[in-house]
Structure 1
Amino acid sequence: MKSFPLLPLLATGSLAHYYFPNTIVDGVQSDDWEFIRQTQNVPGSEPVEDLDSNLLRCFEASDRPAADVLSVAAGAEIGLKSSNSMGHPGPSLFYMARVPDGEDITTWQPTGDVWFKIDHYGDQGGEYPQFETEMTEIYTTIPSSVPDGNYLLRAEHIGLHVAGAPQFYIACAQLSVSGGGSGNPSPLVSFPGVYTMNDPGLSVNIYVADGPYEYPGPEVWSG
């Protein structure tokens, strides 16, 4: 008879919730909301749970203060720091959206098919998908061949501790990318729209599933 861990099933309260107010580049941590659009779950830390909600884009507060733009080089590593230890098991995913020329990055809204995935990770293998928990920072690398320009970087951690009820912890950083290349990021997807509860990576019961975890969304574009 198999036994399954109980702690992740119990860690459903607000003490396990979190948001992402800080960026980290070259070991330098930003001020709270300096480069990240302040999210709606401050201070409560609650996640997005509705797959049809426009909050799946950036989870930004309607009355948020304007955030600055972080200058980064293509190929650089960038991290986001969470407000609390990330106690829910689940994957981390990163998307980018190019801000059209002439648009103000601080107010531009990423509607329609504008997002491309640059990273996903978290599954550590095992008899059923095992995910790291209790970390306070997640990192990705800006693709070296992404064209120069202004971008939103969308970071997402998905809590899978309750089967069939994924929780989305989201933040969008405002970036000015330089030193890039001539890549053609694809495929482009939309939020909401790209995720459905038919996705195995969202409907999975991580405590009984066998085999590798299937990340939701499109394939990773690396350039």
Structure 2
Amino acid sequence: MIDGLDVDIAAGEFVALLGKSGCGKTTLLRTLAGLDQADAGTVDVPAQRAVVFQEHRLLPWERVWRNVAIGLPRAEGRQKAAAALEEVGLTSHLGAWPITLSGGEAQRVALARALVREPRLLLLDEPFAALDALTRIKMHELVRELVARHRPAVLLVTHDVDEAITLADRVLVMRAGEIAAEHRIHLKGARSRADGDFLALREALLAELGVLPEPGALAAAVT
């Protein structure tokens, strides 16, 4: 259940949403996507919005380009799908069947399907969770490039603290349907776990999620 929630995302801003299972993250995303209706309050979202889920949700009976162009007029669909697939590095897979794709390739097709609609709001529901570590890193780099190029407002729902710090301009922590904490990312250059500021923010977020004790709590307990 969401209670008293107020979230604004600017055009071109990348916001990551962290929180324990059941805190309301998915409810918020589905409400913004128009898949669920809010019981009260105001939901102001652009008409041009798209969602990428954890599962790629490709239609196995349609070729890749048709999956990307779903809902578009056939006359222009193939051309737009080809351009979107080129952006995600899958030009050669235009006529492939989904069953022939790897997990990472399938998620890139799902990303192309979202971007072909030129959304002003891009909603990402743990889209990298099922990928192996190396593929996830590549997808992070691709998403950063595409967001910088297209400049949609982005909301990423994730359980991965490192992923949130790596990708986002701002990280929100949700607890019991409310935003319990907010952090703006001010890290310079490449974001690396070897960076002291990265590690400090990681520990703060893990503490707010209840994974680590709050800073100073251990010292107080020992004293």
Higher strand share: 1
Task: Report TM bin, short chain.
Answer: under 0.3
TM-score (ref. length: structure 1): 0.26
Higher helix share: 2
Give the greater-gyration-radius structure (CA): 2
